[in-house]
Amino acid sequence: MDINKCYQILGCDANLSDDELYEAYKTLRTKYQNDRFLSGEEGNIAAKKLTELNDAYLFVVEYRKDHLENTDRSQAFLRIDSFIKAGKINEAQIELDKFDERNAEWHYLQSVVFYRKNWINESKKQLEIAMQMDDNNEKYKNAYDKLCKQINFNEQAKNKASQNNENWNKSGNANFSDGGSYQEPDDMMGGDACADYCCRLAICNLLLNCCCNCQ
């Protein structure tokens, strides 16, 4: 159904409060309930209008409920984003855990939180879920591509370092994060600036390891 047409059937506009909407509905419902007992075509028209009125009211009520839930969800996501920007990763996780219904954006934000915890594989899995739920979202695709590039870089750095240092950490959880401030999510998931930093840090680690081995 069309929401604007529903408001027309109810004889009101979208600016009315829920209580005002109900009063408008109740007034028309009473009128049609009385008119449907009229003889002839008038009674039939009133009966049809009553059915139309009930359907329109139920549709508007559900529409408003869904809109309110979407608004609340969006505000919650903005709150989580602000926590991440402030480096409050635990607070962000607490807010994420409050959701019963988890959509694509939820999984995307969870991937960002996992990334900040340096749980790279878990971050990748969450991004994959987000893309499955919303396969046309360019933000998720760009983040995933950048994260895959960083994972490949980490593997290359690990392989190079392992050739020079037998004590290299075999866990695969090489931590190249600087613990700095949160950036925009698409950069957060492995943007060029992050890759440049990782290169510099990996090179420093290799040099340090070589120095230690030469002693």
pLDDT digits (tens, 9 = 90+) for 44-84: 999 999 999 999 999 999 998 888 778 888 899 999 999 99
CATH topology of domain 1-85: Helix Hairpins (1.10.287)
The fraction of the chain above a pLDDT of 70, given in percent, is 75
Dihedral angle computed from the Cα positions of residues 55, 29, 68 and 139, in that order, rounded to the nearest 10 degrees: 30
Q: Is the pTM of this model over 0.75?
A: no
How far apart are the C-alpha atoms of 167 and 131, rounded to whole Å?
A: 38
Residues in the chain predicted with pLDDT less than 50, given as ranges, are 168, 170-188, 190-215
Instruction: Read off the pLDDT of residues 154-170 as tens digits, 9 standing for 90 and up.
Output: 888 888 777 766 554 54
Question: With the CA atoms of 114, 119, 122 and 125 taken in that order, what torsion angle do they form, in degrees rounded to the nearest 10?
Answer: 80
Ranges of each domain in the chain = 1-85
Task: For residues 9 and 25, give the distance between their C-alpha atoms in angstroms, rounded to a whole number.
Answer: 9
Mean pLDDT of the chain: 79
